[in-house]
A and B are shown apart, each in its own frame.
Chain A
Amino acid sequence: MALAKRIIPCLDVENGRVVKGVKFLDIRDAGDPVEVAKRYDEQGADEITFLDITATHEGRDTMVHTVEKMASQVFIPLTVGGGIRTCEDIRTMLNAGADKVSINSAAVKNPDFVREAAERFGSQCIVVAIDAKKVSQPGEPDKWEIFTHGGRKPTGLDAVEWAKKMVELGAGEILLTSMDQDGVKSGYDIGVTRAISEAVHVPVIASGGVGNLDHLVEGCIEGKADAVLAASIFHFNEYSIPQAKEYMRERGIEVRL
């Protein structure tokens, strides 16, 4: 037997409320991230990710309270991402009870921030989030580039090289979102997932574009991802976590049941 592939539901949180909508039949208030996280925990989620999309300072304080509340009720690993720009931000989230923080645009702006963070807090709690989009034309060798600002701003950085650099600087895990797939529900970009997973020695979480359970299976088997992250397929009760795990197990993937 071996290490289980992890299934990670992701919640977008704004001002302490889940956005993008979550519809659990048996939760009256699906907007409370702690209630939703508890439900996922009961279903057997292996980790939870909160993505803070709040823009204001007040909203940030709310997020800290949300993390504190979640950490005193849900005893599985919690990653918090969104707006992590300084070591102080990291310290605040870890003290509130987060196990890992995910750094995205701050790493693009200043790669050395990743080194500083890993040296200070340990690589085990530093996740670097990468948004990659395919830029090669059909017929050309595959090439993926890092984009910021929700996929609007190209950076000129090669995604695979960037992932390697982040790991060298101390990233303990890579959260890879394949942008061209995100939200269109056609599955992960298997090419870039596999290329990055094979290029780095740390775990890679595949994210973006999950529309059905086969996509989770592809991410693990063809994409060689160590964990699969999904939002809407779980939020809207299209599939439950136990269903997803059973489906993966039947296809030879080790999961925690």
Chain B
Amino acid sequence: MSSIAVIDYGMGNLHSVAKALEHVQPGVEVRVTADPEQVRTADRVLLPGVGAIRDCMAEIRRLGVDAEVREAIASGKPFLGICVGYQALMQFSEENNGVDCLGEFEGRVNFFGDDLKDADGERLKVPHMGWNQVYQTQDHPLWANIEDGSRFYFVHSYYVKAQQNDLVAATCNYGVDFDVAIARDNVFAVQFHPEKSQKVGLQLLQNFLNWNGQP
């Protein structure tokens, strides 16, 4: 049976993501861990994360998760980032007065702003919380059996703007257009929470567990 390491760096509850993985593939070995050996020997790696980026990055560096992530990505095994685990792969976030991130992808994490408005001039609440439509911008094995424009569950106040447009795998609109999925080789990362996005979210996790890491 295959194994997946869900990297635990102490930020947020990993119960849901672990349970969701077990739900879509009964028998899969889910390792909620920060132990480098456990991560290294897993078939797949998932980087989750909630909360403030400064605290997340501090723990990622303190526990050596940065090296684990780099190694996992370089190894070619399927890698999935979720929410702050997606933002952390960018170069820089403007949250907490500016925080340097892992720089696996060129791009920035920006604040939605205090006076965000929709196209009709209606004020939009921040955080962006709830179910919004995700528009796929490239074919990818992780989108298998997921309809374009499906709604996924989001909760975040900062959004990713990637620099390499050809790597963007999906976009969303909330006052601004932003990038909610990115893909390169064996890496896929998303802003929304597949583990909280009911059928479409479980489908994406299933696709990840079936993926061989080839685009």
Contacts and interface: CB of A to CB of B under 8 A. Distances in A.
A94 B13 CA distance: 6
A173 B131 CA distance: 15
B174 A3 contact: yes
A2 B122 CA distance: 12
Contacts of A123: 127
A110 interface: no
Interface residues of A, number: 35
Main secondary structure of the interface of B (DSSP, over half): mixed
Contacts of A94: 12-13
Interface string A224-241: 001100000000000000
B127 A3 contact: no
Interface string A58-70: 0000000000100
Interface stretch (B14-22, B137-145, B159-167, B180-188): B14-22
B40 interface: no
Contact of A72 (B13, B19, B52, B173): B19
A142 to B, nearest CB: 21
A99 B130 contact: no
7 contacts: A3-B128, A124-B51, A173-B129, A201-B125, A202-B126, A203-B125, A203-B129
A46 interface: yes
Contacts of B197: 75-76
Contacts of B15: 68, 71-72, 95-97
A50 to B, nearest CB: 15
Contacts of B23: 72-73, 75
B126 A77 contact: no
Contacts of A202: 125-127
Interface of B: 12-13, 15-16, 19-20, 22-23, 50-52, 114, 118, 124-133, 149, 151, 153, 155-156, 173-174, 195-198, 201-202
Main secondary structure of the interface of A (DSSP, over half): loop
A201 B173 contact: no
**Which 10 pairs across A and B sit closest by C-beta, in order of nearness?**
A122-B51, A72-B19, A256-B131, A97-B15, A4-B131, A256-B151, A94-B13, A3-B132, A203-B125, A124-B155
B125 to A, nearest CB: 5
A257 to B, nearest CB: 9
Contacts of B20: 75
B129 A122 contact: no
A172 interface: yes
Q: Which of A75, A124, A204 has the most CB of B within 10 A?
A: A75
Nearest to A173: B129
B130 A75 contact: no
A3 B126 CA distance: 12
Contacts of B22: 72
A75 B126 CA distance: 23
B130 A203 contact: yes
Contacts of B126: 201-202
B59 to A, nearest CB: 13
Contacts of A122: 12, 50-52
Contacts of B127: 123-124, 172, 202-203
Contacts of B19: 71-72, 97
Given A3-B124, A172-B155, 16 more contacts: A3-B128, A46-B131, A68-B15, A71-B15, A75-B195, A75-B197, A75-B198, A77-B155, A95-B15, A98-B13, A124-B50, A124-B129, A124-B155, A124-B156, A172-B129, A201-B114
Interface in A118-177: 121-125, 172-173
Given A3-B130, A4-B151, A227-B130, A99 B196 contact: yes
A6 interface: yes
Q: Which of B125, B130, B201 has the most CB of A within 10 A?
A: B130
A75 B125 contact: no
B153 to A, nearest CB: 6
A240 B196 CA distance: 21
